[in-house]
Structures are given as structure tokens and as C-alpha cells.
Amino acid sequence: MSSYRKPHPDNWTGRKSGNALYLHEKVECTAIEDTGSHPSQKTIAILGYACDEGVRRNQGRIGAAEGPDAIRKQLGKMPNHLSPEVRLIDVGSVECPDGDMEAAQNSLSEKIVDLLSARTIPIVLGGGHDIAYGHYNGIKKHLGSPASIGIINFDAHFDLRDDENGNNSGTPFYQIAQNNASEGHPLNYLCLGIRRDANDSQLFQTAEKFGVDYVESEGFNTSSWASIEKILRQFIDEMDHLYVTIDMDGFSSAYVPGVSAPSPMGFSPDIVLKCLKTFIESGKLISLDIAEMNPTYDIDSHTAKLAASLTHYALHSMTGK
């Protein structure tokens, strides 16, 4: 069983200007069924995936179900540089009250279809990385099977664990690969920030089996930008559309103490921003999510603020501001 919670205006507070200088003054709280289509306006929709059942099943630290609202609260305080013609809407959250992660993923998929059909650009805030399975399936259903969808995952982990013992936050891309293979389609998957100390040899073998492209953590930094950019552009050129997912536990815990699987050995925000800029400027980015933000273990909201800053950058860049 899953449920849908309408947006809470109380998540959007901050300094008051009376002139929409801050995002909490810009955002509209709108139930997803009331979103409608506004062809003359660019619309960004913030959707939450308040589920950490997949993290629990994967033996991680639970708490990411509270991530969407924690990110919203930090995002609302940030400056608004959006054009008056751009709509920013909060459409609420998919929840997982009874541990039925599969139902929550299906619900997320349906809501992604609704948002894309209404010509909005979804930014989904999680929640465990099982968010990726529901999100991808929604994009796929909206586009139809002939379209090639390139998945870009900023992460320390491949999340390619097999699902013989059930689905969890570590299996989404394996599930996608299996589904695509059954339909005669490849897994178009680029993973940025992979760590050898976070993936066993079997996971590297699975990545090779499915033809996964990846950049390892020690080479994922701005000093290596020339080689990284070449990989990104080659991947982009081969795809019709791009779906970006950012797992916050890929960052060093110096930046993100509040995640489900922290490590000091991760990447830094500057390289992620450079990559995001490249994906957005390609014109192929159709949807984006942020996963594994866990307020239970956050310190001074550092992780929520970084997730909000990434969201702030994305929503302004995707709308030309």
C-alpha cells in the first residue's frame, strides 16, 4: 500500500520580502491532480518520495523518508532568480506507510507520467535510492519504448545488486537492466563516482555484463575534467533523453553527514555541478532526483542544504535562469 500526501505550505518558510525574492514566496502548493498543463510557461514540479523501506531492506540507516521535507525547508529559504513566467510548484509526496515499497514505486511512476504529460519538469526528492526504479519507469512509460533513456547516477555504489532476495535500495538498476533485457533493450547507464571500497568484485562483474559506463571516485574531480567531459559528451550523444539521479551518499561525509551510508571517501560538489551543467545544456535532461538524504543523522542541516543547493541550481539552470 502507498499513499499520496498533498503539499504542506508549512514546509515553505523563510525571510519575507513581499516581492518574491525567496523561493518560499514563489512556490505554489498544488495537488498533483490540479497541476494542469500550461504550454506557454515553463513549470518545475517538486515531488517527494517519502520512503526508506528500501534502505531498511538493504541494511542501511533508516530516516530518508523525512528527506523530502527537510530539503524543501532549506530550499524555501533560498533566493528566487526565476523569471515571473516560470512556475515552481510543490505537488506533495508519495509515501510508504506499510512498508510496501513496490506500491510506492508504482505510485511514483504514475505521478511522473502525470507530471511529464502536463509538460512539467519533475525534480523528485527522496527517500531511498529505490526512487530510481519508479522514476525511470515513469519516464519510460511517458516516452514509449523506442526512445533511448540514458541514466546518469552520481553515486559511490552501482546499485546493481541482484534481487533474488527481494528488491531494495541497492537493486534498482539491476531491475531496470533485467526489464530492458526482456524487452530487447540495453541498459544505458553511466555511474559517476564509483568506489572500489564500496562495491564488491561481483558488482563490477555485473556492471561489465550489462555494459555499464563508469568513472571511479579517484578520477572524479575537476582536475580530471577534460577526460570526464569526453565521457559525458559521448554518452549524451548516444541518447535521446537523460535521467539524472544524485545519491547523496556519493559525496564525502565531510559535506553530507546525513545520509544512509556515509563515507569520508566520496566526491565533492564542484565536480557534480560541472557535470550537471553539461547535462542541462544538452537539452536532453527530462527529469532529475536526489536520493538518500537522511535528516536523522544530519549536522546543522549540512546535507539538506547541499541537496537544496543542488535543486536550486538545477531548477534555475533548466529554466534558463
Q: Which residues are annotated as a binding site for Mn(2+)?
A: 129, 155, 157, 159, 247, 249
CA separation, residue 3 to residues 6, 92, 105, 227 (Å) = 10, 11, 11, 44
Q: How many CB atoms lie within 10 A of CB 102?
A: 16
Could you list the residues known to form a binding site, using ranges. Answer: 129, 155, 157, 159, 247, 249
Phi-psi region of 82 (alpha: psi -120 to 50; beta: other; left: phi over 0): beta
Greatest Cα pair distance in the chain? 56
The torsion of the CA quartet 72, 274, 240, 39, rounded to 10 degrees, works out to 50
Q: How far apart are CA 64 and CA 49, in angstroms?
A: 9
CA separation, residue 297 to residues 64, 70, 74, 183 (Å) = 10, 12, 16, 41
Contact present, 271 and 258 (Cβ < 8 Å): no
User: For residue 57, which amino acid is it?
Assistant: R
CA atoms within 13 A on the CB side of 238: 15
- Cα angle 228-230-234, degrees, rounded to a multiple of 5: 120
Residue 270 phi/psi, 5-degree rounding, is -65, -40
Task: Report which secondary-structure segment, H or E, holds 117.
Answer: helix 101-117
Q: How far apart are CA 266 and CA 115, in angstroms?
A: 33
